[in-house]
Chain A
Amino acid sequence: MMMEILEYLGMALVGGLLLVLISKFGLQHIIRRDCYYYESKEISEENQMLKKAGIKITDKTEGTR
């Protein structure tokens, strides 16, 4: 029984450590961006299109923050 307890504990420690390494040390630097990463791009593109079309730019930020 003691061996099984140690086996599961070891598995949890190794597994937990792997997950922390993958997510907090790996993915954290690759896939994390500013909260408004998509929205700011979309809003600036829309504003550019409106400007080119000669339409007055209204507040497009409603609901984004």
Chain B
Amino acid sequence: MTLESIITTNSLHPGLIMIAMGLLVMALPDKFKRPVYLLAPVLALGALFGINTKSTMVYAISSKLSIDLISFDNLALIFMVAYCIVSLIAAIYSVNGDNKYEMGFALIYAGSNMGVVLSGDVLALLIFWELGAIASCYIVYSKRTRKSTRASFRYILMHGFGGNMLLVGLIAYMCKYGTEIINLTGQGGFIFWMIFIGVAVNAAVPPVNSWMPDAYPESTIGGTVYLASFTTKSAIYVMIRFFAGTEWLVWVGAFMAIYGVCMALLENDMRRLFSYHIISQLGYMVASLAMGDGYGVDGAAAHAFGNIMYKGVLMMCAGAIIYATGKRKITELGGIGKQMPVTAGCFLIASLAIAGMPFLNGFASKALVMHAVNEGGYALASFLLTVASVGTWMSITLKFNYFVFFGKPVSGVPTPKEDIKPIPVNMKIAMVIGSVACIVTGVMPKLVYNMTPGMTDGHPFTPEHIIEYIMLFIGGTIIFFLFINRMKPHDELSIDFDWFYRVALDKFIEWISKGTYAVFVYFDKVVLKSCQYMGNHLGNPYLWTEASSNKRVQSMSFENEDRQIGNVIIAIIFTFVIMLIAAVIAL
């Protein structure tokens, strides 16, 4: 069988290019790793230019079964553009890395997520989904500290759970609908829920969200940039494909938005704080996609695009701070804006973008999201999402910039100048590119709107809309400074839903095993005593006869052939017990 007969294609696959380059990075000698690592996203971007709606890549497993690796439309376009850009930015940022396996797995991870987006059927989706989970697990593990090792173990357990749910759901789905991806809105039932749970794990929907603040901060500084960009956004993409228009998801999204900011307000670890903000921002996307085609899907896709940009910058800035100071908690830092002007500037832009500051990309995509939710008639959900914007402003834009860069440190003492080492140029370049992307797509939102499936226009720059956000930020600022002492983070840990499997489940399993052990010990004792009794009394019939008050019994003799009578009695009783057990089982 020739290659042409099993693969039918007219395009290059950006995801497969990334995966192949990832394998190459790991296989080649160390001196080649950096050029290949940088070249991979450039080639993927080049391949993306060659893809259109007629592109195809079909791999025939047998005459009856094939995998469709490329199916392209505007929804895939906006995610693919974001993925290629962020892959390039992340590669520039982390090109100085030493661990070629981490670099290789980062490319495989990015490529897998591109594969998910381009999947033409559920088989391709499932394969790339699982490959992405494995690759991301290594990225978490690659720091190789005790914490990162354990976090990666919990990460793979959670994603193993989600992956299995998805697998079961998709197998049932294929039996019913075939391999084509169709929207399941309004279906309900086993298939709907299995797929939803599987996707919800990756989308960090509470209560299956805690893997993210658990794992992301434990990875390397470069690894976290990759992690923050792909898994959750691919989950949103799959949610759009399967569940766009499922209206009750608007409440899930609103809850996620509020939950994320409440947790972020408490958080002290930089990257945990940003992880909670990812959950909050995912809430906007979930709420938007719940509203279905048009503004709903476009809002979710545009917000995912914007989120990939500004969240990437935030994670890169956090990594730069960790690189420069060796510290990762807000309470350990303060007043470093002057010593790290590029990082501080980029962070300011990204933190304003995530809050929804006019003329930055968050503002443009939130316009679509809010329009969709308001149009759907969900006033309370709209209010909750607006409150979440105020919370984002307070918990990241004000809190972080004030306590870390420009304001008064929590400890009262600014980080000493000599404790801050300069960061490499490549890291600065990556942060600046990301920040420029936030500004450009914020000032010219049509660049993003035109890539969305419905190409809807959010008309973000109306006076009313701009005034709305400015007033929200003024209100948030007043509250922030009114409660400034309360706003100070503390060097503590927030327990999340992971408590249930890290403590409660642990205790439950301990209780079950100790209980089982106690039951077995009890029955062991009973059986042992019975055997002793049987051995003593049936093995030696004189113990019975001598103890009897009956003279005739007392005078019984078991000499010679009668001596074996005890053994015969044991054999008879044993046979009887066996027969009794067999009868009970048979009945």
Contacts and interface: CB of A to CB of B under 8 A. Distances in A.
A31 B495 CA distance: 5
Given A22-B262, A41-B503, A12 B475 contact: yes
Contact of A19 (B383, B390, B491): B390
A64 B491 contact: no
Contacts of A17: 479
A24 B471 contact: no
Interface string B522-533: 000000000000
Interface stretch (B140-148, B170-178, B545-553): B140-148
Contact of B150 (A23, A31, A42): A42
A32 B474 contact: no
A35 to B, nearest CB: 5
A21 to B, nearest CB: 10
Interface string B483-521: 100110011111110000011000000000000000000
A16 B391 contact: yes
A20 B437 CA distance: 32
B475 A32 contact: no
A60 interface: yes
A31 B492 CA distance: 10
B266 A16 contact: no
Contacts of A36: 493
A57 interface: no
Nearest to A36: B493
Contact of A24 (B258, B265, B383, B467): B265
A40 to B, nearest CB: 11
Given A4-B464, A9-B474, A12-B472, A19 B494 contact: no
Given A13-B479, A22-B262, A63-B147, A5 B495 contact: no
B387 A15 contact: yes
Contacts, number: 117
B266 A63 contact: no
A38 B266 CA distance: 18
Given A33-B492, A33-B493, A16 B265 contact: no
What is the interface residue range for chain B against chain A? Answer: 35 or more
Contacts of B145: 62-63
B146 A5 contact: no
Nearest to A11: B386
A41 B471 CA distance: 46
Contact of B502 (A9, A28, A38, A62): A38
Given A8-B472, A9-B475, A12-B473, A19 B502 contact: no
A12 B265 contact: no
A16 B146 contact: no
Given A31-B495, A35-B492, A11 B148 contact: no
A19 B471 contact: no
Contact of B148 (A9, A12, A63): A63
Contact of B475 (A1, A16, A31, A63): A16
Nearest to A45: B506
A17 to B, nearest CB: 6
16 contacts: A1-B467, A4-B468, A5-B471, A11-B383, A11-B390, A12-B474, A12-B475, A15-B383, A16-B387, A19-B394, A23-B261, A23-B263, A24-B487, A34-B493, A38-B502, A62-B145
Given A16-B479, A23-B265, A32-B266, 10 more contacts: A8-B471, A16-B390, A19-B258, A23-B266, A24-B483, A27-B494, A34-B493, A36-B493, A37-B493, A38-B493
